[in-house]
Structure 1
Amino acid sequence: MSKRPLAICGVLGGCQANVFLLKLIIVRSPNTLYAMTFVQYVVVSLLSIFLVSNFFDSSRGGGWLRIRLRPMRILTSHKLILASSSWLMSVSSNLVFGLYISVPLHATFRSSSLLLNMLAGYFFLEKRYTRSQVLCATAISGGLIALAMEKSRKVQNLNAENGMKTSEGNLWWFLGLTVLACTTAFSTGLGIFQEYMYAAARRREEETKKRGESVQSSLSPPPMWAEALFFSHIISIPLFFLQSGRLFREFASISSDSYMHFALNALTQYVCITGVYILNDKTSAFTLILTLTLRKLCTFSLSVAYFGHYRHFTMMEWVAMVTALAAGALYPLLPKAHPPSNLCVKPTEKGSKER
C-alpha cells in the first residue's frame, strides 16, 4: 500500500522534472533526442537491476560482485513484445519534438488517450459511458482539432516569413503530428497489453501453486512491475544501434553545458517510469489515468509559464488547450455507467432467492 503514494509522487514529480529538463535539452542541444533516449534506457537498466538481482548471494561462495537474477514470472515472449513496443514508442515520442511539435501540443495531444480508451472499450469490451463522459471525450477531441488547425495556420505564416516553402514546412509538421497520433494510440494498446501480461503471469503462478509444482528457491521473485521495468529496457538497448551512426553523431553534437541536463534527465526518467510501472501493476486504471492526466496539466502549466509560450498564444489556442486539458482532468472523476446486463440479472437473482 505504501508504494502507491510514492508512485504517484514519482509520476507527478519525476515526470514533471523530466519534461522540464527535456525542454532545456531541446533548446541547448537540439537534434540529440535519440542519444538522450539511449542514455535514459541505459540508466534505467543499471538502476533497476538492483530490483531483480541479488548481489549478496552467499550460496554462490563469492563476494558482493556476484550477481544472481531472482526467479522471474513473466513470459519471455511477453518481455520481448513489451521491450520492442516500449522502445518504438519512446523513440517516436521524443523525436516528434524535432518536427514542429511543441511541449504543450505534445502534452495536450497525449490526453486523447482517454478518448481512445473510450472507443476501444465501447467497440471491443462492450463498455457503456454516461453523457458527461461522452461530453468530456468530445471536448478533448474538439480541443485537439482546434489546436491542430491553429498550429497549422501559424506554421504556414512562419514559413512565409522565413521564405521557406509552405508545403515543406507543413509536410514536416504533419509528419510529426501523424507520429504523435500513432504514438498515442500505440501507448493505449501497450497499456492494455501490460494489464494482460500481469494477469497472465499471476494466473500462471496460481495454477502452478495449485498443482504443487512451485520451484523451490532461496530467493523470492521480484515485483512484477520491477521485472517488466528492467527487461523492457535492457532488451531494448541493442535496438538503438540499428542507427549507430546517428547515435554517435548526436553524442558528438551535445554541448558541454548540457551534460548535467542529460544526467538529470535520465535520473528523473527512472523515477518517472518506475512510478508508472508501479501504478500499472498495483492500482486501477482510474488511478493511473488520473495521475498521468494531472501530470500533463503540470507539464502544460510549467511549459507555458516558464518558457514563455503564452506570449505567442492566440485566443483559439488558449481555449482549445485549456478545454482539452480540463476535460481530460475531469474525465476520471465522473461517475461510471452501469452495464445494462447487471440491471437485468439482479431482479432475476433476487426472485430466484425468494422462491
Structure 2
Amino acid sequence: MQVRKNSFRELFKLIGKVNGYEARSACYHNLIDVFNSRLSFKEMGKVKFLSVSPTLDMQLKAVLAICGVFLGCCSNVVFLELIVRFDPAAGHLVTFSQFFFIAIHGLISTSKFFSVKRIIPMRDYAILVTMFYVSTVCNNYAFNFNIPMPLLMIFRSGSLMANLILGILILNKKYDLWKYLSVILITIGICICTIVSGMSLDIKGDNNSRDKDYGFSMLFWWCIGIGMLTISLFVSARMGIFQEVLFKKNGKHPDEALFYAHLLPLPGFIPLLSNILDHASIAFQSSPVFIPILAIEMPIQVLYIIGNMLTQFLCIRSVYILTTECSSLTVTLVVTLRKFASLLFSIFYFRNPFTSYHWLGTLFVFIGTVIFVEIIPKIRDSCETRKQMKTIDKFYLDDTPRVHVSYKPLPQDDEKHNLDDN
C-alpha cells in the first residue's frame, strides 16, 4: 500500500482531533500504522498516541504571555513617558492608579468579593507584596532625582545580572563560564550608560558659588536616584525568585497572586495621599482633548493615566502568567528584551538624548543578553532538528510501498485479557 502526501495530511489533521490528542512528528510511526490499517473512527479513538496537549497548552500560554508583555509593557512605557514629560513628579499618582485599578478588577473577577477561597497563604503574599511595593516605589521615585527615561530602561536591563547573583546566593545555582561573561558585559554596558548620563549633568556651574552648589546638589540627588534604582533592581530580582519558588510549592495561580499583590499594598499609599491628590489636581487641569469614540472631552493627562492603567494591567498580568509557565530566568530575559525595545522607541520617538557612548553601552547589554540565553546554540540546534524532520518527512511521505501493519484495537477496561498475550 502506498502512503500519499495528501491523504497523510488529511489523516494528520483528523488524528489531531481524536480524543483531544495533538498529532506531531513524534507520532509519525503511529500515524503510518493507523493509516495502513484502515481504522474506523471508533477504533481510532482507542489508539494511544503520544499526547502533547499539555505541552502545547503551556507553550501557547507562554507565547501569548510574551506577546502581552511586549504589547502591554511597551505601550505602558509610552504612556508613562508622556505623563512624566507633563508632570515629572507624578510617579506616586501613576503607581496608585495602577494598583487601585488592578485590585478592583481582581476583587470583581478573581476574588468575587472574597467569596473564592484563597490558595496561597497570606504570609507568602505579605512577603511578596512588601518586595513588590518597595521595588515599585523606589523605581518611581527615581524620576524625582534627575534620572532620564533611557537611563532608567538601561539600568533596569541589569535584572539578568541581579537574577544570576541572587540565584547563586539563594538557590545555590551554578552557571557556566559564558553566563558569567554575559553578566560582565551587561554590567559594563550599564556602567558606561550610567557614567555618561552622570557626566551630562551640569555640575560645573559658573564661578558663582551658588551655581556650584546647585551643580553638586544635582549630582548628589542623581546619585541618590541611582541608589534607588539599584535597590529596586535587586528587590525585583529577589521577588522573581520568590515567585518561582512560591508557584512551585502552591501551584499556578497567577490571577490570585496578581490580585493580592495589588490589593495589600494599597494602605501603604495613605502617607502619600496628599502628594497623590496634588498631582491628580494637576492632571485634571491639563488641556482637554476630544475623544471621538466616547464623544466627550477629557484632560489629556487623565487620558494618559487611563492608558497607563490599562496597559499596565495587560503587562503585569502577562508577566504573572509567564512566571507560572517559565523559570524566573526566562521571565527576566523576556522583560529585559522588552526594555530594550522600549528603549529604542523612547530614543527615536521622543528624541531623548543618546550619544555614541550610550549606544556602546547598549551594545554591551544586548550582546551580553544574547550570550546569556544561548541564542546562537539554540538556533543551531533548531536548524539541525529541522534537517532531521525533513529527512523523516522524505522517508514517510514518498510514494514507495510500505509493509502492511496489522492492527488490533486496544481492549476495553472490562476485558481481562492482555493485548500482548494474543
Tell me the TM-score normalized by structure 2. 0.67
Q: Structure 1 counterpart of 2:120, which letter? A: I
Q: Say if 2:92 is the partner of 1:40.
A: no
Q: Specify which of 237, 240, 244 is matched with residue 191 of structure 1.
A: 240
Q: Which amino acid aligns with 1:194?
A: Q
- CA distance in 2 between counterparts of 1:160 and 1:176 reads 25
1:100 corresponds to 2:149: no
Q: Which amino acid aligns with 1:195?
A: E
Show the counterpart of 1:243: 272
Which residue of 2 is the match for residue 224 of structure 1?
253
Percent sequence identity is 28
Whichever residue aligns with residue 261 of structure 1, its letter is Y
Q: Distance in 1 between matches of 2:169 and 2:223?
A: 28
1:132 aligns with 2:178: yes
Q: Distance in 2 between matches of 1:147 and 1:276?
A: 27
For residue 308 of structure 1, the aligned residue among 325, 340, 351 is: 351
The reply on whether 1:252 has 2:294 as its aligned counterpart is no
Pair 1:273 & 2:331 matched: no
**Whole-Å Cα distance in 2 between the matches of residues 323 and 116 of structure 1?**
16
Secondary structure of 2:172's partner? coil
Q: Does 1:182 align with 2:231?
A: yes
The equivalent of 2:71 in structure 1 is 13
Alignment match of 1:173 (pick from 199, 217, 222): 222
CA distance in 1, matches of 2:198, 2:255: 41
Partner AA of 1:100 in structure 2: N
Aligned pairs, number? 302
One-letter identity of the residue aligned with 2:166: A
Match for residue 344 of structure 1? none
Tell me whether 41-50 or 282-291 shows the greater mean CA deviation.
Answer: 282-291
The 1:126–1:92 alpha-carbon spacing in structure 2 relative to 1, beyond 3 Å, is: closer
Among 85, 89, 93, which residue is 1:27 paired with?
A: 85
Does the CA-based 8 Å contact 1:241-1:247 persist in structure 2? no
Q: Which residue in 2 is equivalent to 1:114?
A: 160
Please tell me whether the aligned partners of residues 49 and 230 of structure 1 are also in contact (alpha carbons under 8 angstroms).
yes
TM-score w.r.t. the length of structure 1 is 0.79
Partners of 1:13 and 1:330 in 2: CA distance: 25
Q: Does the CA-based 8 Å contact 1:141-1:324 persist in structure 2?
A: yes
**Other-structure match for 2:10:** none
Offset from partner CA, 1:17-40 (integer Å, 9 cap, x none)? 000000000111221111111111
Question: Displacement, 1:3?
Answer: 2.5
User: How far apart are the structure 1 equivalents of 2:309 and 2:107?
Assistant: 15
Task: State the Cα distance separating 1:5 from its structure 2 match.
Answer: 2.0
Question: In structure 2, how many angstroms separate the alpha carbons of the residues matched to 1:308 and 1:160?
Answer: 28
Equivalents in 2 of 1:36, 1:160: separation in Å? 37
Distance change in 2, residues 1:224/1:273 (3 Å)? same
2:223 & 2:279 partners in 1: Cα distance?
24
2:188 equivalent in structure 1 = 142
Cα drift, residue 286 of structure 1: 4.2
Give the unaligned 5+ runs of structure 1.
Answer: 55-66, 203-222, 337-355
Query: Does the aligned pair in 2 maintain the 1:159–1:169 contact within 8 Å?
Result: no
RMSD over aligned Cα, in angstroms?
2.2
Distance 2:268 2:170 in 1: 32
Once the 2 structures are TM-superposed, how far is the Cα of residue 189 of structure 1 from its aligned partner? 0.8
Q: 1:332 aligns with which of 364, 367, 373?
A: 373
Residue 73 to residue 145, structure 1, CA distance change in 2 (3 Å): same
Which structure carries more relative contact order (alpha carbon 8 Å, separation 6+)?
A: 1
Q: Aligned in 2, Cα 1:72/1:169: closer, same or farther, shift over 3 Å?
A: same
Aligned to 1:317: 358
- 2:107 equivalent among 36, 49, 60: 49
Would you say the 8 A contact 2:166–2:238 is kept in 1? no
User: Would you say the 8 A contact 1:225–1:278 is kept in 2?
Assistant: yes
